[in-house]
Amino acid sequence: MSSKPLSESPDRSPAPARLSACGLRSRFGGPFDFEVQAGECVAIQGPSGAGKSVLLRMLADLDPHEGEILLDGRSCTSMPAPAWRAQVVYQAAEPAWWEATAGEHFAHEQRGFLDQTLPALSLAAGLLDSEIERLSTGERQRLALVRSLARKPRVLLLDEPTAALDPASVARAEALLSGCLAQGMALLIVTHSADQARRLARRIFHLEHGRLETQ
C-alpha cells in the first residue's frame, strides 16, 4: 500500500478568479474574455467613446449584455441583481447623489469606516453635514470613492475616479486603493492617465474598436 506524505496536499482545484468575463459583449464591443484575481488591479485605457464605461457597466450588470460574468466562480445570472451589485460595485465618472447632504448617503454602521477613511483623503468629518451641491467637484469625487469603498466591494469598478483631483489628493486616493487591494479587493479602473495605470495596475488593457488588448 502506498501512502502520500502528509505535506503533500490532496488534489484541489485552483480557486476561481475573483471576476471572470467569458464572451462578454454588447452592441458597442466584444466579445471580451478576461479574468481578474483577488487583490489585482487592471487598468483600462483607450480613446474617448471606445466603450470603457459600457464595459464597466456590463460587469456591474447595469447595461444589457451577452456572455457570462462570474464572481468567485458564481454566475451573475445565479443571483439577484442587487446581490451582484452589492459585491461588484460600479462608480461612474460622474456619480449620482440622491440625498441633500453628504452624510445621508451613508448608513449608521458605516460611521466607523468613515472616521478612518475621510481623514485618509483629507476630508473633514464636518463635510458630512454639508449639502452635496455646496461641495467642490474634488470633494464630491473623493466622497464618491469613500461611498464606494464603504460598501466593502469584492470587485470595484472605477470610472475616472481621480480626474478632478490635485496630485496630492490623487496620491492619497491611490494609497487608499492600494490598501484595499492588499486586503483582496479586485479593482478595474478606467483612467486616461498612463502614469496612474502604471502605478496601480499589474496589467493594462487597451480598448479600441470594440477589442480589448493587453498592453
Ligand X SMILES: Nc1ncnc2c1ncn2[C@@H]1O[C@H](COP(=O)(O)OP(=O)(O)OP(=O)(O)O)[C@@H](O)[C@H]1O
Question: Does position 28 bind ligand X by CB under 6 A?
Answer: yes
Question: Does position 141 bind ligand X by CB under 6 A?
Answer: no
Nearer to ligand X by C-beta: 65 or 105?
65
Distance CA 21, CA 123 (A): 36
CB of 20 to ligand X, least distance (A): 21
Please name the residue that has the C-alpha cell 454588447.
26
Nearest-5° angle of CA 169, CA 86, CA 52? 60
Task: Please state whether the peptide bond connecting residue 119 to the residue before it is cis, i.e. omega within 30 degrees of 0.
Answer: no
Residue choice 17, 30, 36, 51 for contact with ligand X (CB under 6 A): 51
Kindly state the DSSP code that residue 9 receives in the 8-state scheme. P
**Residue 1 class from Cβ within 10 Å (0-12 exposed, 13-18 middle, 19+ buried)?**
exposed
Residue choice 52, 65, 105, 142 for contact with ligand X (CB under 6 A): 52
Residue choice 3, 7, 13, 48 for contact with ligand X (CB under 6 A): 48
Residue choice 50, 88, 135, 185 for contact with ligand X (CB under 6 A): 50
Interface positions with ligand X (CB under 6 A): 28, 46, 48-54
